[in-house]
Structure 1
Amino acid sequence: MTAHDLGARHLCRGVVTHPLGLHCEVADPGRALDGATTTSSFLDGLHRAVERGATFLDTADSYGCGHSERLIGRFLRQDPDLPLQLSSKVGQSRGTAPHAYAGRHIQHQLDQTLENLYVEQLDLYTLDSFDFGRRDRYLGNAIDVMRTLREVESIKAIGMRGPYARYGASPEEWAAQGERFLHLFRLIKPDVVWTPFNAFTPAVLIEGEDLFSFTARHGVGLVLAAPLAHGVLSGKATAWASSPRSVAPRLPRLMSCFTEGVEEALGALRRHFGEAPGTLTRVALRSSLQRGNQCVVVVGFSNEEQVEENYSCLGGPLTEHELGIVDDIYAQLRSCLQKAAARTSVQELSV
């Protein structure tokens, strides 16, 4: 990486964007918990991010039952000429259809997403689940519909999820997810892979390569989400408590089991990189941004102060030596997580 590594990146066909984007997820107002992101703080955060140069906004039809998309649409109606790239997902909400990927449901969801976002085209549309029905009965339909949407230019690029499993999953579970991903990747032939990536994400091998080398070899872009692990890696250890959806339902229980390990790891990072405000955030974001030039990182936020910290703390690239330090410390965190997961599993079995 060079000193100019925060310039525009080519994610995929027709999508060139600032490498640090926003993960836009707001709870349905009727179901919001105390501490959840409010409409005003979300819109203020969007304004600040765009002022800071953000161009890539990532959301999904399932976030807040479409509320997140509608808020972005409200923001865009104020200035429809902003040069933004919009990403959304399908596959978690099935409505009254027999399956989220059945028949014309994908088309229906896209039509609603475009209306919610106040746009005529999506830059990236991602299949947000590996569940294509029993024996993948809806997989062929999903592939055909997505390719047609790209051909008629309703979307610019097709995305699919990367390998994913619960926090603390066993190596065997992750290996199985890697095999499932490879099978679907060969059939879907996506332009982009969307995947959570942070210190707690195991290094799953795909055909003997990590996901970064694998996608680079195939000319596929990567969107990396949750780089701060819901605030844990920025030192805000209770940030997961106000998460608008249960993206990591086991994380709160696991956190209570290995809080000491987290504090130890964050302390080691502070000793290496300093105590200045935003240092931990910088380390987490930089270690994601520097994984490859085909990577775009999307970071969540709850207010404009958080956005300001994320964009102002980046500084220059980490050196190879510094990246090695980060990787070693994050590996220790994953080891702690695995041990905590094993302990909670034993406890659950004994209840």
Structure 2
Amino acid sequence: MGLEPRQLARGLWTRPLGLHCARLGDSVTGRDGDARSLAALRRGIECGATLVDTSDSYGHGRSERLVGRLLREFPEALHLVSKVGHLRGSAPHPYAGKRIQHQLEQTLDNLYTDRVDVYVLDSHDFGPQDRYLDLVAEQMRTLRELEYIGAVGLRGPHAPYGAGPTERKAAEDRFAAVFRAIRPDVVWTRCNVLLPVSQVEGEDLVAFTRRHGVGLILASPLAHGLLVGGTGADRLLSGLAGSARDTVCGRLAALHQRFGDAPRWLVRMALRWCLQRAAHAVTVIGFSTAQQVEEAFTGLGPPLSEEELRVWEEFSVTLRSGESPALS
């Protein structure tokens, strides 16, 4: 399974390794920070990325604005994913009234475009007794019909740090209920070797989306930098409670003991594992610098062999079988 374009949604064919721009909103501000972020984005396009994943909540729009600057340089080269569901402004809820329409208008202004290819509902909170759920479902379908968006997206099951089986099951059941109401074209979810497997109605999320004819975007394949170390991983670990941090550190130690400490090799295994999981899924990588982007794309190597896939999958199942926090 190579890097040729895949169909993510109706009319949307994109290369399977794209860019996740969450860190653009958190990077150093000012001219130097913008120049570094734009250099990283350009390097991703040069390496072959055609899908760029951002959100109105990444840096309160800063990530979108930087992507918009890039889009002016490569107007025909990019497919755009953005999200809504966390910023509410003066509205009583992020999904209240015409809030989605207003946020999309701001997103389109930020991105310097008149359309996003996938617009993702990034929260499963639709107000008390789901008072906004039917309204949101109707609004998203209308936006798609009017071609302001190409595909309706929905975040996959999501449980916080430290979630046990009961809380994870509740998150999965909640996703299933929202999925039936929204009927999305694409599901966006985090996927890496340290995450618990999401089970929806008796099957894993990859099989569930395939059965429903829904595309899948896999984010955070390197577990927010935990697989390669660095300052980002240190910050994430420092924010965990003691028991959760011990569990994650134990998993990382087991991973390194089994596969070694070479970051480039772990990156290749993690990315190839995601890329080869399903033909209807694309993977987006986080980054802060052009060097990180280049290392990810140029270090992919050939597809994993059946034996490599089997070993990595067996180890990932073992890692994820314990009572440990989902990386969110």
Query: What TM-score, normalized to structure 2?
Result: 0.92
What are the residue-to-residue correspondences of 1:332-347 with 2, within 5 Å?
A: 332-335=318-321, 338=323
Q: Residue 151 of structure 2: SS of its match in structure 1? A: strand
**C-alpha distance after superposition, 1:130-166 (max 9, x if no partner):** 0000000011111111111000000000000100101
* Aligned residues of 1:61 and 1:88 also touching (Cα < 8 A): yes
Q: Which of 288, 293, 310 is equivalent to 1:307?
A: 293
Q: Deviations over 1:303-331 (max 9, x none)?
A: 00000011011111112221121122223
Q: Unpaired segments of 5 or more residues in structure 1?
A: 342-351
Do residues 125 (structure 1) and 119 (structure 2) align?
A: yes
What secondary structure sits across from 2:320 in the alignment? Answer: helix
What's 1:263 paired with? 253
Distance in 1 between the 2:178 and 2:47 partners? 37
CA contact (8 A) 1:265 1:332 kept: no
Q: CA RMSD in A?
A: 2.3
Amino acid at match of 1:313: G
Match of 1:227 in 2: 221
**SS at 1:278 equivalent:** helix
1:256-285, Cα deviation, whole Å (9 max, x unpaired):
554244123123123xxxx76611100011
Alignment deviations for residues 68-122 of structure 1 (CA, whole Å, 9 cap, x no partner) = 0001111222x14332100000001111111100111100000000000001100
- Are residue 209 (structure 1) and residue 203 (structure 2) matched? yes
Residue in 1 that maps onto 2:229 = 236
Match of 2:19 in 1: 22
Measure the CA separation in 2 of the matches of 1:283 and 1:130: 32
Distance 2:280 2:13 in 1: 10
Identity %: 48
Residue 42 of structure 2: SS of its match in structure 1?
A: helix
Asked if the contact 1:228/1:281 (under 8 Å) is kept, the reply is: yes
1:269-348 correspondence runs (5 A) = 269-270=259-260, 278-335=264-321, 338=323
Contact 2:9/2:185 (8 A) holds in 1: yes
Q: What stretches of structure 1 move > 6 A for 4+ residues in a row?
A: none
**Residue 38 of structure 1 aligns to a residue in which SS?**
helix
Report the equivalent of 2:34. 39
CA contact (8 A) 2:194 2:251 kept: no
Aligned counterparts of 1:166 and 1:149: Cα–Cα separation in 2: 31
* Partner residue in 2 for 1:349: none
Unaligned residue ranges in structure 2 (runs of 5+): none
For the 8 Å contact 2:23–2:287, the answer to whether it is kept is no
Contact 1:86–1:124 (Cα < 8 Å) also in 2: yes
Residue of 35, 49, 72 corresponding to 1:54: 49
Are residues 1:11 and 2:4 paired?
A: no
C-alpha displacement of 1:14: 1.6
- Residue 204 of structure 1 deviates from its aligned partner by 2.4
User: What letter corresponds to residue 84 of structure 1 in structure 2?
Assistant: L
Q: Which amino acid aligns with 1:76?
A: L
Partner SS, residue 104 of structure 2: helix
Tell me the distance in 1 between the aligned counterparts of 2:295 and 2:193.
20
In the alignment, which residue of structure 2 is the partner of 1:250? 240
